């Protein structure tokens, strides 16, 4: 009975603390993460002492981070991940080594010996993947330049986990002489690389057939169980070779990013991720030793200030060199300037190896935990001060949405394509709410008396403010294909009454929009190309009405052919075969119409040349 009471005691405490503190934190505009951290501090050993073993809880709660990284991987196709290899290994390395170098230099100047300075700086240079990804998801910033850059740096930190952990025993065993270390570090690195290769190639061969077989069983709970098994299995394999479990789950997600089961996996795992991620943040709060903060406040404060200041310095320089939009830099800097949960592991290992004592370990852990706690508050401060100040510096007065709009039409993107749509609507007395995320373009358009608002339409809160809950039509005219897809997904999931009219940059973009259920799509180059083709036909002798009819028939056939090929577009061979067949059918159809036209015209008139006179 006692064991049963203890079992039910833990979830009761966690749920009660979360239900009370998280809504309160959101009401105070501090974010849910800070609410979870405060809840953990309150129920932890430093305050109420309801939970006296936060370390065990943290090990279980880490699975929330693992699930989160799996879902992040599901949003990142392999080709996109490959395209990010340079920022991952380039800028990620700059952040890690740059931050560690500055922190180590400061520690040495303050009189710490270099082994202690090295280990402490490496632990502090890491950032919290959990906090960063959770904030990006909460603010819908994952696809922005800052969001992608944060992901790149976080991935490099996960990859660097094994060499960082290898440094600690090497330094301890050699008394600071790294060159005398044995080859165990290289052996562990080799095992890690081999495991990554095995997961990637094995997953590509086996995952999709396995999920097809499981899906055919028709039991949803088994499909969910299989998804959890995949996440836990890949995380365990990475853990065996000393790599981050989150890294293994991320790879599994990337391997399934292009599969037809992606949406179902997201739906099944999202509830688990949210609860366990909240438990993780609560466990971090429980681990904060307020006794150290009370007895050594200056030391903890000094470490915290050095951590945030020096890392921010590196990140500010990086954001400038990366060409990141000014309004996105505060989020990038703040999310990566904090410490990370991986630092706890490094400091614990360093204490076990005799490099640092218990007091130093506690002070470092307290500083990292406080950096996690102040991150949401810093973000709120940036929103209210820095971002608003920068926005008003570049965006003209009145260009920000200050209340919910009521126009029946929303136009997302007001470049060369969106302006044509807007001009026709405005010329006919129709009102529209126009959004564009380019501050300079907004300022330029407002000089011509266009009523354009500054904002990113991939943000759900901004769409709501733009009136998406009441509007009838959403015109997606943005240049970026990924942003276009994300806006369409948000509209379909959150505003079912909206009819989406979209611009497609190319055929692949068309297909992706059709998969989301968008039916009113226009390829931006089709009609302009057909107008040019009509001009060519007329110059070669076709009558204007005949050239116009041929262009219209081609357009009709092209749209019909795209619909025929829609189920086949992921199969390259089938797509090519269908395209060839469609082209032959169209040529045969036009040839047949020319023959019928000749039969109906026994006489030629100077005022009506035969439409096939260009065949000579």
**Tens digit of each residue's pLDDT (9 = 90 or more) over 137-165:** 767 676 677 888 888 888 888 777 767 77
pLDDT, average across residues 4-17: 71
Tell me the C-alpha distance between 455 and 461, whole Å.
10
> How much is the average pLDDT of 561-568?
69
Check whether 115 has a pLDDT greater than 80.
yes
Averaged pLDDT, 244-268: 75
Cα separation, 153 vs 149, whole angstroms: 6
Helix (H) / strand (E) containing 475: strand 473-476
Across the range 576-604, mean pLDDT stands at 56
Helix axes 114-125, 297-321, angle to 10 degrees: 60
Residue 432, strand partner residues: 409
Query: What is the pairing mode between strands 520-523 and 452-454?
Result: unpaired
- Residue 86's pLDDT is 83
**H or E element, residue 523:** strand 520-523
Amino acid 316: pLDDT: 92
Beta carbons within 8 Å of 4's beta carbon, 6+ residues apart: none
Q: Using one digit for the tens of pLDDT, what is the confidence trace for 480-509? A: 888 888 889 888 888 888 899 998 887 778
Burial class (CB in 10 A: 0-12, 13-18, 19+), 592: exposed
User: What whole-number distance in Å separates Cα of residue 419 and Cα of residue 439?
Assistant: 16
Decide which of 102 and 7 is more confident. Answer: 102
Per-residue confidence at 49, pLDDT binned at 50, 70, 90? confident
pLDDT confidence bin for 178, thresholds 50/70/90: very low
In the prediction, which pLDDT does 252 show?
80
pLDDT of the residue at 391: 45
543 within 8 A of 606, measured Cβ to Cβ: no
Asked whether the predicted pLDDT for residue 102 surpasses 90, the reply is yes
570 Cα distance to chain centroid: 23
> CA 375, CA 579: separation in Å to the nearest integer?
53
Q: Which pLDDT score, from 0 to 100, does residue 88 have? A: 83
- Residue 452 is encoded by which pair of tokens? 């354009």
Closest CA to 165 of 18, 46, 43, 343: 343
pLDDT on residue 176 = 45
Q: Three-state DSSP class for 382?
A: helix
> Looking at residues 252-275, what average pLDDT do you find?
74
pLDDT score for 318: 92
Residues whose CB falls within 8 Å of the CB of residue 190, separated by 6 or more in sequence, listed in order: none
Question: Is the pLDDT confidence value at 21 over 50?
Answer: yes
Q: What is the DSSP string of 254-276?
A: HHTTTSTTHHHHHHHHHHHHHHH
**What is the rounded CA–CA span in Å between residue 109 and residue 124?**
17
Mean pLDDT of 254-264: 73
Percent of the chain past pLDDT 70, that is, above it, reads 76
This prediction's pTM: 0.56
pLDDT > 60? residue 616: no
Q: Is the pLDDT of residue 69 over 80?
A: no
What share of residues in the chain are helix, strand, coil (percent, to 5)?
A: 70, 5, 25
Q: Which of 513, 522, 462, 466 is nearest to 144 (CA)?
A: 462
Phi first, then psi: give them for residue 454, nearest 5 degrees. -85, 125
Determine the length of the chain.
Answer: 616
Assess whether pLDDT exceeds 70 at residue 4.
no
pLDDT of residue 310: 93
Q: What is the pLDDT of residues 376-414, one digit of tens each?
A: 778 877 776 654 554 444 444 444 555 567 788 888 888
Domains of the chain plus CATH, in order, are 2-394 (1.20.1530.20), 396-524 (3.40.50.720), 533-616 (no CATH)
Can you tell me the distance from the alpha carbon of 329 to that of 379, in angstroms, rounded to the nearest whole number? 11
Lowest mean pLDDT among 90-94, 166-170, 279-283, 473-477: 166-170
| Window from 29-33, 247-251, 450-454, 569-573 with minimum mean pLDDT | 569-573
Average pLDDT on 220-232 reads: 80
Chain centroid to CA 425:
34
Enumerate residues 6+ apart whose C-beta is below 8 A from 141.
Answer: 135, 147, 328, 331, 459
Strands 473-476 and 432-436: unpaired
pLDDT band at 592 (very low <50, low <70, confident <90, very high): low
Q: Are 33 and 134 in contact (CB under 8 A)?
A: yes
What's the mean per-residue pLDDT of the chain? Answer: 76
CA-based nearest residue to 88, from 188, 160, 195? 160
Residue at token pair 């439409």: 611
Q: What's the rounded mean pLDDT across residues 559-584?
A: 64
pLDDT tens digits, 281-325: 787 777 777 777 788 888 889 999 999 999 999 999 998 888 787
CA 92 centroid distance within chain: 16
pLDDT at 603 exceeding the cut of 80: no
Quote the DSSP letter at residue 503.
E
**What confidence score (pLDDT) does residue 58 get?**
66
Beta strands, E only, 380-465: 409-412, 432-436, 452-454
| pLDDT above 90 as % of the chain | 6
Contacts of 31 (CB under 8 A, 6+ apart): 25, 135, 138, 376, 379, 380
Q: Which two tokens stand for residue 260?
A: 């037809």
């Amino acid at each position: 009975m006692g064991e049963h009471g203890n079992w039910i005691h833990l979830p009761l405490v966690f749920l009660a603390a979360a239900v009370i503190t998280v809504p309160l934190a959101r009401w105070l505009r501090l974010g849910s993460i800070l609410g979870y951290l405060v809840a953990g501090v309150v129920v932890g050993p430093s305050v109420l002492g309801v939970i006296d073993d936060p370390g065990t809880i943290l090990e279980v709660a880490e699975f929330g981070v693992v699930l989160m990284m799996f879902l992040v991987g599901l949003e990142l196709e392999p080709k996109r991940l490959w395209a990010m290899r340079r920022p991952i290994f380039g800028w990620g390395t700059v952040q890690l080594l740059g931050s560690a170098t500055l922190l180590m230099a400061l520690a040495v100047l303050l009189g710490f010996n270099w082994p202690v300075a090295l280990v402490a700086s490496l632990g502090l240079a890491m950032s919290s993947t959990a906090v960063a990804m959770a904030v990006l998801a909460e603010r819908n910033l994952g696809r922005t330049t800052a969001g992608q850059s944060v992901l790149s740096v976080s991935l490099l930190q996960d990859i660097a986990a094994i060499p960082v952990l290898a440094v600690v025993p090497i330094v301890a065993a050699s008394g600071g002489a790294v060159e005398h270390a044995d080859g165990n570090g290289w052996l562990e690195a080799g095992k890690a690389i081999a495991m990554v290769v095995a997961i990637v190639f094995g997953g590509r061969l086996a995952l999709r057939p396995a999920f097809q077989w499981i899906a055919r069983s028709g039991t949803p709970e088994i499909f969910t169980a299989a998804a959890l098994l995949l996440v836990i299995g890949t995380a365990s394999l990475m853990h065996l070779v000393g790599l981050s479990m989150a890294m293994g789950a991320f790879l599994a997600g990337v391997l399934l990013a292009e599969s037809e089961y992606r949406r179902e996996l997201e739906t099944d795992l999202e509830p688990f991720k949210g609860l366990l991620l909240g438990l993780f943040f609560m466990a971090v709060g429980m681990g904060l030793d307020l006794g150290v903060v009370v007895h050594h406040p200056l030391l903890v404060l000094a470490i915290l200030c050095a951590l945030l200041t020096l890392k921010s310095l590196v990140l500010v320089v990086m954001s400038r060199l990366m060409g990141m939009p000014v309004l996105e830099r505060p989020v990038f800097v703040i999310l990566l300037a904090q410490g990370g949960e991986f630092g706890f592991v490094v400091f614990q290992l360093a204490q076990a190896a005799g490099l640092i004592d218990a007091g130093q370990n506690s002070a470092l852990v307290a500083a990292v935990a406080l950096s996690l706690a102040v991150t949401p508050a810093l973000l709120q401060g940036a929103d209210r001060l820095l971002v608003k100040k920068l926005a008003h510096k570049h965006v003209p007065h009145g260009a920000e949405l200050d209340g919910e709009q009521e126009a029946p039409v929303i136009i997302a993107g007001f470049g060369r394509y969106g302006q044509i749509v807007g001009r026709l609507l405005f010329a006919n007395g129709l009102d529209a709410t126009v959004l564009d995320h380019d501050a300079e373009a907004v300022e330029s358009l407002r000089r011509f008396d266009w009523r354009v608002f500054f904002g990113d339409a991939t943000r759900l809160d901004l769409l709501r403010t733009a009136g998406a809950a009441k509007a009838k039509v959403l015109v997606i005219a943005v240049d970026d294909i990924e942003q276009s897809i994300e806006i369409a997904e948000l509209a379909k999931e959150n505003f079912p009454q909206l009819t989406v009219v979209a611009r497609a940059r190319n055929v692949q973009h068309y297909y992706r929009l059709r998969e989301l259920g968008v039916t009113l799509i226009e390829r931006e180059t089709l009609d302009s190309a057909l107008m040019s083709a009509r001009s060519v036909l007329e110059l070669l002798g076709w009558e204007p009405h005949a050239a116009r009819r041929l262009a219209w028939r081609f357009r009709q056939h092209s749209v019909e052919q795209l619909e025929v090929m829609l189920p086949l577009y992921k199969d390259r061979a089938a797509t090519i075969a269908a395209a060839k067949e469609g082209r032959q059918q169209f040529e045969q159809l036009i040839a047949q119409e020319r023959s019928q036209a000749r039969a109906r015209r026994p006489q030629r008139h100077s005022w009506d040349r035969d439409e096939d006179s260009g065949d000579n």
